[in-house]
Structure 1
Amino acid sequence: MQERILAVLVLLVTSVSLTAQVFPQIGRLESTSSDLAEEELGEFNFVRVQFDTYWSGGFGYGPWSIDFPDADMNFLRGVSRLTNIKVEREPIVLRFDDKKIFDYPFLYMLEVGQNGGIVLSPKETKNLREYLLRGGFLLIDDFWGQRQWDNFYAAFSQVFPDREIIELSPDHEIFHVYYDLDGPQMIPALYRSDEFGEQGIDRASNHAILDDFGRVMVLINWNSDMGDGWEHTYHQAYPTRYANNAYRLGINYLMYSMTH
């Protein structure tokens, strides 16, 4: 995990210097069958985490599967179009207790505060801690309000009882590693506004768990829903600016994870 493929780094450097200029405004992506051509398979696999909650299991269509698979597929299309990173065609679903997670430097999960919160087994807790300390990156998306935060905190304090969760300031490099952003962005669900959000929330924030060297291991996208921005890319009722912000943030997080 600590090793980063040199070819990927070259692609990232090229992407930052060229693509950020070519696509200052993302616009509404068009879905075409050639978006993820066979020859483009390569460096990045989108891995979604399947998990259990207190009020329901992780099998079937629990909170872990919200926006799946459209959000995952559209994000892969966006990465393919807006960077020089070659992507896998299909997203992957894994649990934390699966040793395969160590093959992938980037994991995504969402709705961790729903249904009473996420439940982690001892093996999942151990695997996740080891994965992150060995260089892995976990992006947590789409949970809102204090109650869901408390549910999330109860679970992740078991993973890292010795580490604080800090809030990232807008000048943190994760917001500037590829696209130059003003910091966290509130990305609302379909038919909602970024002026109000959900559960009375009117401000998005990004929090993180850091390793001993200051690297972001866990990025917590609180009071924002990038998954909806990806999922509804082609929905005419979903404002393009929200989708744009979702791709910019997601790509910045990805670039950070692959270069740190």
Structure 2
Amino acid sequence: MKKIAILLFGLSSLLGFSQEIALLKYSGGGDWYSNPTSLPNLAKFCNQNINTKISLKIPTVEVGSPDLTSYPFVHMTGHGNVVFSDNDVINLRNYLTSGGFLHIDDNFGMDQYIRKEIKRVFPDNPLIEVPSTHPIFQKPFAFPAGLPKIHEHDNKKPQAFAIIIDDRLVLLYTVETDLGDGWENQEVHNDPIDVRTKALKMGANILNYVFNN
């Protein structure tokens, strides 16, 4: 099943069809909608710099929806509470083990909640820290020190954690970096151009991994 899903995702790219990515909508009260300009900006950057054909119209998909399987990459963010229903847990697990990819970017405040829900999705697969030598930090843009620091938050080291199934990274959780804020329009956070560029390049690396593995 996983190989079929991956093949279909890759085939759409090879045939020149538009690649679609989506924003994940979840329950619990957290602001899943908090970075409205981030994914369109990331898609535009990738289309201009790494030869993707990602649609700039970013749909929203709910965790428990059967439409989740339509997207090879789904992004999740927010500042607060996250609650998955039992159906959400099963649907998300099936999606990720069948070729899908979820990037969770803590927008500052969701860490204590999302870790509990990830544990429910994969009770036997703990989050592991992704080393700086992993391909996701190597191409197409080099990040020899690993995840870049975009926003201060608690001024801790930025970290990338992952769930790996059958040697494939299926879930990436980034914390103490806030890549999504770096993808937003410049006037939203007034980040310097070099900081925004680092965030966009790291996002491009993530999508490059998704579409080529």
Whether TM exceeds 0.5 here: the answer is yes
Q: Name the aligned partner's letter for residue 127 of structure 1.
A: N
Matched, 1:202 2:177: no
Percent identity (aligned) = 26
Give 1:120's aligned residue.
Answer: 84
Give 1:31's aligned residue.
Answer: none
Preserved CA contact (<8 Å) 2:10 2:212: no
Q: Distance in 1 between matches of 2:24 and 2:188?
A: 25
Aligned residues: 207
Matched, 1:47 2:47: no
Q: CA RMSD in A?
A: 2.1
State how 1:145-224 maps to structure 2 within 5 Å.
Answer: 148-182=110-144, 183-188=146-151, 197-198=152-153, 200-211=154-165, 213-224=166-177
User: Relative to 1, partners in 2 of residues 1:122 and 1:203: Cα closer, same or farther, differing over 3 Å?
Assistant: same
Gaps of 5+ in 2: none
Matched, 1:5 2:10: yes
User: Which structure has the greater CA radius of gyration?
Assistant: 1
Where in structure 1 do 4 or more consecutive aligned residues deviate above 6 Å?
none
Give 1:19's aligned residue.
Answer: none
Q: Name the aligned partner's letter for residue 138 of structure 2.
A: H
Give 2:93's aligned residue.
Answer: 129
Preserved CA contact (<8 Å) 2:102 2:170: yes
**TM-score, length-scaled by structure 1:** 0.74
User: Relative to 1, partners in 2 of residues 1:157 and 1:7: Cα closer, same or farther, differing over 3 Å?
Assistant: closer
Aligned-pair CA distance for 1:123: 0.9
Q: Name the aligned partner's letter for residue 159 of structure 2.
A: S
Q: Distance in 1 between matches of 2:6 and 2:41?
A: 28
Gaps of 5+ in 1: 11-40, 57-61, 189-196
Aligned-pair CA distance for 1:77: 1.3
User: Relative to 1, partners in 2 of residues 1:144 and 1:102: Cα closer, same or farther, differing over 3 Å?
Assistant: same
Q: Distance in 2 between matches of 1:74 and 1:252?
A: 15
Q: Name the aligned partner's letter for residue 67 of structure 1.
A: N
